[in-house]
Structure 1
Amino acid sequence: MNYDSRIDARENDHVTMSGSPLEGDVDQERKSLRWLWMIAAAAIVVVVIWFLVHRGGADDKAKDADVQTPAVTVVVPGRTSVQGEISATGSLAARRDMPVGSVGEGGQVRAVMVEPGDWVSQGQVLAVVDRSVQNQQQASQSAQISVAQADARLAQANLDRALKLVDRGFISAADIDRLTATRDAAVAQVKVARAQLGQLQAQAARLNILAPASGLVLQRNVEMGQVVGGGSSVLFRLAKDGEMELLAQLSEDDLARVGVGAEAKVVPVGSNQTFIGHVWQVSPMIDATNRQGVARILLAYNPALRPGGFASTTIGSGVVDAPVLPESAIQNDDKGAFVYVVDGKNKVHRRAVQTGLVTAQGIVVKSGLQGNEKIVLRAGGFLNDGDAVKPRLVNAAKAD
């Protein structure tokens, strides 16, 4: 067999095998397997895509939730011992206000001797009232004394002569008694006349308006030529010894915490000066209309302390043990002061508080907190009751 014959034979054999039924079954099986693999691959792709989509959505939700929960700084204030102080306002006045008027019969004012702001001593003449009529009355009464003295001398001389004649029998004992009575009456008339002159002199002296005590002249309400009468209106007003006081208005609670002798710092309106005084009297009564009482603070004289002016004061009230918070932690609205407290589930809750003294460390919380709560330090104005937060605790000492 030659080479060409072998090739032809192989080609014939190949044609016979490819056209057989066995070859068709194999191709069909291969196609089926190919489709199964494609379906499985598609299913896997779908599962992967679904997993990625849902997992990505959950992560996004978690991320969104994490982004929406605000992070806030919180502080546990504890309790701090601070020097208690009570703030109040009130008006300035003379501690002993002395109104001075005319106590005599009155008359026309001839001279005014002092001006507001002058210092006077007890008994010093403040104003002189005309006394020309009173001077004439005194002169007349002095003459009456001379007449009475003359009558008394005459009565005494008559009595002396009568006593010399008794032994001779010319004068009876009854005459002696009569002359003695006459003499005694004349002596009494002298005393009466002198007493009347003293009365006129005292009345004339009362015409002058005198200072009842040493002090500072606050007001002058009289002018030369003015006619004044006894019991007239106030002509002068003095502050005894120049002492002033602040009538501080305090609530019932604050008044109960103030004691006599407590130190007070007083700052008049419009002044940068601070004056140190002490509480010398605490009102025993409460005004029923405004539920307030008065603490009277004694102040030494100073030209900047003007009676009738307005002033603020800070009164020491002992040591207070209470929570102290920075100003940023305390919110205010129409319902009053409040803070946000973070609970164990990291949710904030509004809590009303009552604030007190403002110190260098912060604001004292008089009531509403125990001191062991977590208080939102900042951003409280952006929160609502029940909001979830991510608290970040800081040291109370570093809260500022």
Structure 2
Amino acid sequence: MKYEPGVRADANKAFPADLDGIDEVERSVRRRRFIIAAVLLVLGAAIAFFAYTKYVQDALGAGDDDSQLPVVTVVAPGRVTVEGTIGATGTLAARREMPVGVVGEGGRVVSVPVEAGEWVRAGQVLASIDRSVQSQQVQSAAAQVDVSRADAQLAQANLDRALQLVERGFVSKADIDRLTATRDVAAARVRVSQAQLAELRARNARLNILAPAAGLLLERNVEPGAVVSPGSGALFRIARGGEMELLANVGESELSQLSVGVAAEVVPVGSDKTFTGQVWQLAPTIDPMDRQGTARIALSYAEQLRPGGFANATIRSGTVVAPVLPESAILSDDDGSFVYIVGEDNKVERRPIEVGAVRAEGIVVQDGLVGTERVILRAGGFLNPGETIKPVFEEG
């Protein structure tokens, strides 16, 4: 192969020119990249500046802009007239319970002709006690009365004959006095024997255990064959006239709101039937342990009213004027019931209250609110006293 020196020389002269063009293009690309990076850097700095400025403005204006405060619904309850009621629970009992036991000397019971749950009349025999020995004693006493009467008749006859003879002088005045005294003693013995007979008969009559008054027999605690005595306790219990009552336990403050004669509705536990009665007696004392008293509610007889059972009572205590709040506004803790109200500068304040009856329209607030306060209606459990809020009254 032959090489041409001229051609090689020309080629060597052409390479420098091509390298210069390449360097120029590369510098142009670098300049564009630098410019783009600078623009992006300036744009990022501007965005950061504006974001920081907005943050500062928000931070400085937060104290003056209430748009950041929680919006809470409030209500001004006012005061309304509602029929006051007091709820209570208690035990059913006979209004006048009569315990019946042995009033005589007692003995072996031979018959019990009544059962618990039956109606009995006054004087009805509830149980009979064996009187075989007492019957013999009565017969002996009756015979003694006859003996005493015979002696009295004989003494009277002797006196009559002596009086006929005294006029003839056959009998002295002293004999008359002696015969008169004998006649009087015999007459007194008749009366003594009669009294003894009457006593034995009365004792025998007391061997029958009788109902002291008409009513419902609640308990029968004796069976035939049992030996009873005055120390045996109550063998029967009778609800006089079948009248019942509820011994309702009422708080000390609520008891002061009641009066004798107010109506009450009683519902026994396990029954959906309501019985109407009225308070006939209020306890004169308060239990120092639970600070409660007893309101005795008189009830007419009904089969569902069983003494010893529990019942709920709603007692009407007249009309009251007080605020009424929905259940959502009332909170409670270990210190009792309370509500949150909106105070000065829209700050949350805790207000202790005393709740009353639960009505269809809400819960009656007996004490703690005037009615003009702005009471937080809902979400009270998420707030704390002293917190600033934006109150909004409930619409409608």
If the TM-score is normalised by the length of the shorter chain, which range does it land in?
0.7 to 0.9
Percent of aligned positions with the same letter in both sequences?
60
| Partner of residue 360, structure 1 | 360
1:112-123 to 2 correspondences below 5 Å: 112-123=112-123
| Partner of residue 375, structure 1 | 375
| Partner of residue 124, structure 2 | 124
Cα displacement string for residues 216-246 of structure 1 (whole angstroms, at most 9, x for unaligned residues): 1111100000001124211001111111111
Distance 1:293 1:258 in 2: 11
Distance 1:368 1:58 in 2: 45
Give the aligned residue type for 1:378: R
Distance 1:328 1:151 in 2: 98
| Partner of residue 224, structure 1 | 224
Distance 1:300 1:377 in 2: 45
Give the aligned residue type for 2:369: L
Which residues of structure 1 form unaligned runs of 5+?
Answer: 1-44
Distance 2:349 2:87 in 1: 30
1:180-199 to 2 correspondences below 5 Å: 180-199=180-199
Distance 1:149 1:53 in 2: 135
| Partner of residue 30, structure 1 | none
Q: Relative to structure 2, which stretch is displaced further, 291-300 or 94-103?
A: 291-300
The SS at the match of 2:55 is helix
Cα displacement string for residues 280-337 of structure 1 (whole angstroms, at most 9, x for unaligned residues): 1111112223322211111111111111111221211121111100001111222221
Matched, 1:247 2:247: yes
Distance 2:341 2:289 in 1: 37
C-alpha RMSD of the superposition: 2.4
Cα displacement string for residues 346-379 of structure 1 (whole angstroms, at most 9, x for unaligned residues): 3322222111111111001111111001111112
Distance 1:387 1:288 in 2: 41
| Partner of residue 55, structure 2 | 57
| Partner of residue 269, structure 1 | 269
Distance 1:96 1:364 in 2: 36
The SS at the match of 1:187 is helix
Distance 1:59 1:310 in 2: 68
Give the aligned residue type for 2:185: A
The SS at the match of 1:160 is helix
| Partner of residue 4, structure 1 | none
**CA offset at residue 390 of structure 1?**
2.5
Q: Is the 8 A contact 2:66 2:390 kept in 1?
A: no
Distance 1:59 1:140 in 2: 123
Which residues of structure 2 form unaligned runs of 5+?
Answer: 1-42
| Partner of residue 279, structure 1 | 279
| Partner of residue 108, structure 2 | 108
1:204-215 to 2 correspondences below 5 Å: 204-215=204-215
Distance 1:357 1:251 in 2: 13
Distance 2:204 2:151 in 1: 28
Cα displacement string for residues 126-156 of structure 1 (whole angstroms, at most 9, x for unaligned residues): 0011111111000011100111111111111
| Partner of residue 152, structure 2 | 152
Give the number of equivalent residue pairs. 353
Q: Is the 8 A contact 2:262 2:317 kept in 1?
A: yes
Superposition TM-score, scaled by structure 1 size: 0.83
1:131-150 to 2 correspondences below 5 Å: 131-150=131-150
Q: Is the 8 A contact 1:103 1:231 kept in 2?
A: no
Distance 1:78 1:326 in 2: 13
